[in-house]
Amino acid sequence: MELHFLGTGAGMPSKERNTSAIAMKLLEERGTIWLFDCGEATQHQILHTTIKPRKIEKIFITHLHGDHVFGLPGLLSSRSFLGGEDTLTVYGPKGLQSWVEATLALTGTHLTYPIAYVEVTEGIVFEDEQFIVHAKLLAHVIPCFGYRIEQKPLLGELLMEKALALGVPKGPLLGKLKQGQDIVLETGEIIYSTDVTAPAKDGFVVTILGDTKYCDNAIRLAERADIVVHEATFDAETTHLAASYGHATNIEAATVAQKANAKNLILNHISARFLAHDITKLLQQARVVFPATYIASDGAQFELKGKELL
């Protein structure tokens, strides 16, 4: 799994940072990409990457402020021109579907693929055999959701030598054991998968939070997560402004990660008031509270290998 930050700015684009968009690359896990938010010019940012829009399977919108959604109609349109045929599922707050459909209709935009809309409420918004996604309301000036993406436990490694020693022939039966199925040999002997596979491994947990001031739901979503992505629109010197605008400081984001016992914190949604020379200070302040803190820039990629952040 890899997080590719396409836009890390707050409010409006700047020369250094585009508006909000994060691609979660699940190419090894399911051959697709999930997108979280789609600010203005997200598709232009994608042009500078290896991301193929037709590979985008799901788009999760945190809230309906323009810096998180103004790029969505354009991306949906371009996905048709770029070979998109598979269903795209779009998750977001009430009102998202009507806005997108009205925009596409008024502009005469024809799509070559169907869109499935899911109106997000608190709870489980998606689940299959691989993943489960939880959503909770955060504390912003309009309804805004944070998402917790949990990969379900991975099947344990097949203990090949042990299986062969028990008389399992090479071939399809080994595959069944690896998939957790018990088998019967020609002799009538039953070989149990649990006897010839290592214990299941925990999958990863990634929490991606939308705009929010410091709140308990952010901590709940981030509990023991391998990666927490949290906004840091303000800093320690502007704490008095953060809550009134429905935003958080770098210190508050670090506190969320610390209280949640998370493993890594990535700060984004950085205000244009912070220039390049301010970023080091932002990072240093946060690391006093939570040492495993990083700040994303546009184009930054963070890969999770096993449980290690690269």
Does the annotation list 140 as a binding residue?
yes
What's the CA gap between 145 and 209, in Å, rounded?
Answer: 7
What's the CA gap between 232 and 197, in Å, rounded?
Answer: 44
Q: How remote is the C-alpha of 241 from its chain's centroid?
A: 28
Does the annotation list 65 as a binding residue?
yes
Closest CA to 151 of 200, 199, 206, 90: 206
Does the annotation list 4 as a binding residue?
no
Does the annotation list 269 as a binding residue?
yes
Phi/psi of residue 90, each to 5°? Answer: -115, 125
Does the annotation list 134 as a binding residue?
no
- Is the Cβ–Cβ distance between 228 and 209 less than 8 Å? yes
Please provide the distance, in angstroms rounded to a whole number, between the alpha carbons at the two ends of the chain.
11
Helix (H) or strand (E) holding 67: helix 66-69
Does the annotation list 67 as a binding residue?
yes
Residue 67 bears catalytic tag: yes
Closest CA to 236 of 298, 301, 285, 180: 285
Burial per residue of 134-172, b for 16 or more beta-carbon CB atoms within 10 angstroms, e otherwise: bbbbbbbeebbbbbbbbbeeeebebbeeebeeeebeeee
Q: Tokens for 81, please give them.
A: 């021109």
What's the CA gap between 77 and 108, in Å, rounded?
Answer: 10
User: Which of 37, 67, 226, 298 is flagged as catalytic?
Assistant: 67
Which residues participate in the annotated binding site? 63, 65, 67-68, 140, 211, 269
* Residues known to be catalytic: 67
* Residues of the binding site for Zn(2+): 63, 65, 67-68, 140, 211, 269
